Structure 1
Amino acid sequence: MAESGIRPDEPERFRRQGSVSSKQDLIQWENASVETCTILSWLGYGPEIIQARRDIYREYGKRCTAKGCGFPTLIITGSKGEGLSSYLESDVDQMFILNRVICLEDDVNSCAFPGEITVLRSLSRRSYHGHCRLLLERRGTDILREVNDAFCDDGFGRELLSSDLFVNNWSKVNLVQGEVQHERAGPSIPSTVNGHLHWDFVHALRYYCPNILSKWAARPRHWPPPEVTQRVVSLGAVLTPVGFKGSEYQHVEWRVCFNAGEIELISNLNDTQTKLYVLLKMIKNDVLHPRKKEVSSYTLKNIVLWMAENNPQASFHKKSILQWLHEALDALRVALITLELPYYMIPERNLMATTGLDVEQQRTWISTITDMLNEGPKMILRLPKIRKALIAHPEPFRWYSGRIIELELLMLMYMNRVVICRDENVKVDYTDAIFQALQRRIDEVITDVGVRMRMEGTRVINADAIFDRILM
């Protein structure tokens, strides 16, 4: 798609079109919607457990930041930071924001920053929307080797910060015991710890870009409300080390991101909008099965954010979730047909521009989504978690759900306690009373689940297998 290919009226596609033809159909859609919302809450996507996850991961980031004396700032991003995935369900996305480097838009004055701060100036000319290059304006007196060694000459005697060199420099840091590092994936350095904990590490730079944020904030909208809009603006932006695929400057380009602001936005979706996002993620994982993130959770998040902005909040309620799922899938189908989807924060950036989607996969997904749209509320039966919950006996289903949610909360508290009880040599004091109480209760819950599984005839190998099975 050409850079000018996104039309000013593009978000109109996310306005509700209406998909129910009769009163009888409406009742069927509403009843199925209410049941789906109830099941999603029991599956661990109710507002209380989601908020608990957000709070614990936010606290984890603050404690890790404090342990490192604020250098750098750690935030948990992605589905974990949003509270929308359980303990072992997906990767833990950790973003380290360097506090001794600041990047500035063209017309922002750099005089206010102290001498120890390295100042970089963004150059967006000749870069795709939402991307830029970083020109050194002032080298700070306190500069990390990983940053200093990432500068390269631009051919005119000026120094550019190379995103490729930056990522490669951070890939050389020491690993913790039991950690295996994998190949770079975009801006991140993935690794696995103890065989089942998957981490994605991204090192990012603060970006002061009032022009971009004020343009976003000025849009007419149903949502978010003004106070949330201002909080998002105050959280600012970061630059992550990844260029626009296919650009001649890819190795020195950086992408503009709003991770903290997007977590704030997701946190301010109502219960129905949040569950809509969860259902779309389930469809991606269990129906579409993308191989190379041709359709990602980020794609789906942007569809939900556009729909929330362009429609009255009162229309999103537990009786309407499947109608909204129908609308969201139709928006995804249009995006796959046109290969156009505007980024919510910077609409000029097309999220489908570099998906690498081949024609055969495109046809298959369009056909699958069209079939789902024609199935009406029955489309929800394509999702294994929902289908199994519908046919399960209510009592054992609720019993297991309660234990799973308790075990997850215990593990999250355990995770935070590890940080609290860790000294400057990264040695953990396992004699801590709270630490031991958490471990005892974790063992009790796993034992209770194992006993019940055996009573019901399930073949259980060991406690570790139970742990992995119920927290995936």
Structure 2
Amino acid sequence: MADEGIRRGEVPKQFQNEQASAETSTLMNVLGYGPHIRQARIEAYKASDRHYTALARGTVTWITTGSKAEGLTSFMESDRDQLIVKESVICLEDGVDSSSVPVEKTIFRSCSRISYSGHCRLLLEKDGTRIHKLVNNALCDDGFGRGLLSSDLYVNQWLNEHKPGEKAVQHERTGPSTPCTVHFLERDIVHALHFYCPSILTRWAARHRYWPSADVVREVVSLGAFVSPVGVKGSDYEHVEWRMCFNTGENVLINNLNDTQVYLYVLLKMVKKDVLKPQKKEVTSFTVKNIVLWIAENNPHSWFHERSLFHWLHEGLYALRVAIDTKELPYYLIPGRNLMAACALDHEQKRSWIATIDEMMTEGPRMILRLPKIRQAIIAHPEPLRWYSGRRIEVEMLVLIWMNRLALGMDEETDVIMQAISRRQTEIEREVRMRMIMEGARENDRCNVLFSLLM
């Protein structure tokens, strides 16, 4: 796969379906994907991460990733993906000088020469002044008397040592993540390690590109990388392999897309979820994210505006079709890693998905009627839709403030802000329930109304 990733021919100066694109862009804003609500979500989850990290007193750093960090899902719409990064360990790319690493840190050296691109094994180079028990218990022998950190053992050690609290339910491990439910909220937690890999990030930064700007490129490089405990499916060394990831850098990249690029990303995720409906993660939101990042990098930023949305949706569907057909999609940060390499996509499913995407590409703007959330919004009268969306966004903002007051240790019985939030939530819930009753619904459970507002 070439480093340039996804490329197409010249884009016409006059875009087709400009009016439909502009109307859909407005609709996306009303549905809660506009810049102001996205930024409010992003800041709320950053604040939450700071609270969790402060409580850990320097032992770990909490980082929200995925759709919550991107500001693209409401409070209860999807899982919250979080990294827990151990601060007493650092992993170094081969060839990087370790002399400046503080003595208290345990150092692992990455060995990627015999691993699939974007993956590595971690050899113990130096114990810190106090090596953590979980790290020590995850070490095994590499066959040459050297300590090798097992990704499989590392996850299992965390599961064995950290039992869920009284109000939490631990679920079965999936890949590197340890999912759990706290009250009614789903969380996917990955226990990761810092990874210093200047040569990988330098190669990415040196690519010719239209986007992102030089300042954003420098910021992404400065944020570094992580390794998460998961190997290549089917590899002989899967249990000791780690995957290189750039979660904080990807958060920055997504947050620097313009509105049209964000709407493209959201619509493609809806296509994945509501039209293709993968059952075994054959295509994921991460697949779609990489398609959007490649399209943004390889095309002038001025071509992405509200009247060109359907052009780029057509381009995104085409790129998704090619990825499914060829089972090839280069990872945006490490193009040598093929994101489709291990997808469990059989021949019949591939043919069906390609046929579906071909149909959508010929339908033009009507293709978005296949997406339930968009179709429902189009059918709704503009005034009730705007009224309901306004209440839904306000409730979500209140809940995010509540979440961070709770993380700060505030008591809902005595904290005046939390009391004010509770009163306003009750008012909104009553307004929505009364309007539902006036329009023929019979929903009397206020919790159900609040949950529906947060979905």
Instruction: Report 1:194-205 matches (<5 A).
Output: 194=183, 196-205=184-193
Which whole-Å deviations, capped at 9, do the CAs of 1:338-361 have from their partners, x for residues lacking one?
A: 000000000000000011111111
**For structure 1, which segment, 97-106 or 456-465, has the greater mean C-alpha deviation from structure 2 after superposition?**
456-465
How many residues are paired up? Answer: 454
2:164 counterpart of 1:175: yes
Inter-partner Cα distance in structure 2 for 1:430 and 1:86: 26
Match of 1:180, SS state, is strand
Inter-partner Cα distance in structure 2 for 1:158 and 1:271: 50
Pick from 341, 347, 368: which aligns with 2:335?
A: 347
Structure 2 equivalent of residue 14 of structure 1: 7
2:437 counterpart of 1:448: no
The residue identity in structure 2 corresponding to 1:185 is T
2:443 counterpart of 1:460: yes
- Offset at residue 454 of structure 1 (A): 1.2
Which whole-Å deviations, capped at 9, do the CAs of 1:49-104 have from their partners, x for residues lacking one?
A: 00110011011101111122132111110000011111111100011111110000
Indicate conservation of the 8 Å contact 1:19/1:323, yes or no. no
The residue identity in structure 2 corresponding to 1:176 is G
Structure 2 unaligned residues grouped into runs of 5+: none
- Offset at residue 115 of structure 1 (A): 1.9
**For structure 1, which segment, 155-164 or 176-185, has the greater mean C-alpha deviation from structure 2 after superposition?**
176-185
Which whole-Å deviations, capped at 9, do the CAs of 1:312-332 have from their partners, x for residues lacking one?
A: 000000000011000000000
The residue identity in structure 2 corresponding to 1:281 is K
2:320 counterpart of 1:332: yes
Inter-partner Cα distance in structure 2 for 1:17 and 1:355: 31
Inter-partner Cα distance in structure 2 for 1:322 and 1:350: 27
Pick from 205, 216, 221: which aligns with 1:233?
A: 221
- The runs of at least 4 consecutive aligned structure 1 residues that moved more than 4 Å come to 16-20
Structure 2 equivalent of residue 296 of structure 1: 284
Structure 2 equivalent of residue 40 of structure 1: 28
Inter-partner Cα distance in structure 1 for 2:72 and 2:118: 26
2:138 counterpart of 1:150: yes
2:178 counterpart of 1:189: yes
Indicate conservation of the 8 Å contact 1:14/1:303, yes or no. no
2:108 counterpart of 1:120: yes
Structure 2 equivalent of residue 389 of structure 1: 377
Pick from 260, 283, 301: which aligns with 2:271?
A: 283
- Offset at residue 381 of structure 1 (A): 1.1
TM-score (norm 2): 0.97
Structure 2 equivalent of residue 401 of structure 1: 389
The residue identity in structure 1 corresponding to 2:185 is L
- Offset at residue 144 of structure 1 (A): 2.0
Inter-partner Cα distance in structure 2 for 1:177 and 1:444: 31
Which whole-Å deviations, capped at 9, do the CAs of 1:14-47 have from their partners, x for residues lacking one?
A: 3355589xx8xx56x1111011111111110000
Inter-partner Cα distance in structure 1 for 2:438 and 2:272: 35
Inter-partner Cα distance in structure 2 for 1:74 and 1:8: 32
Inter-partner Cα distance in structure 2 for 1:364 and 1:18: 29
The residue identity in structure 1 corresponding to 2:430 is T
**For structure 1, which segment, 36-45 or 108-117, has the greater mean C-alpha deviation from structure 2 after superposition?**
108-117
Inter-partner Cα distance in structure 2 for 1:337 and 1:174: 43
The residue identity in structure 1 corresponding to 2:441 is T
Indicate conservation of the 8 Å contact 1:16/1:311, yes or no. no
Inter-partner Cα distance in structure 2 for 1:107 and 1:386: 51
Match of 1:445, SS state, is helix
- Offset at residue 112 of structure 1 (A): 1.1
Structure 2 equivalent of residue 111 of structure 1: 99
Indicate conservation of the 8 Å contact 2:77/2:454, yes or no. yes
Pick from 219, 224, 246: which aligns with 2:207?
A: 219
Indicate conservation of the 8 Å contact 2:2/2:335, yes or no. no
Inter-partner Cα distance in structure 1 for 2:9 and 2:75: 34
2:62 counterpart of 1:67: no
The residue identity in structure 2 corresponding to 1:15 is R
TM-score (norm 1): 0.94
Query: Could you say if the C-alpha distance between residues 14 and 463 of structure 1 is closer, same or farther in structure 2, counting changes exceeding 3 Å?
Result: farther
- Offset at residue 461 of structure 1 (A): 4.0
Inter-partner Cα distance in structure 1 for 2:315 and 2:101: 47
- Offset at residue 448 of structure 1 (A): 1.5
Inter-partner Cα distance in structure 1 for 2:238 and 2:374: 42
- Offset at residue 255 of structure 1 (A): 0.3
Indicate conservation of the 8 Å contact 1:191/1:198, yes or no. yes
Structure 1 equivalent of residue 196 of structure 2: 208
Which whole-Å deviations, capped at 9, do the CAs of 1:423-472 have from their partners, x for residues lacking one?
A: xxxxx564222122222212221122111111111121401111222221
Query: Could you say if the C-alpha distance between residues 354 and 17 of structure 1 is closer, same or farther in structure 2, counting changes exceeding 3 Å?
Result: farther
- Offset at residue 177 of structure 1 (A): 2.5
Inter-partner Cα distance in structure 1 for 2:9 and 2:403: 42
Inter-partner Cα distance in structure 1 for 2:296 and 2:446: 43
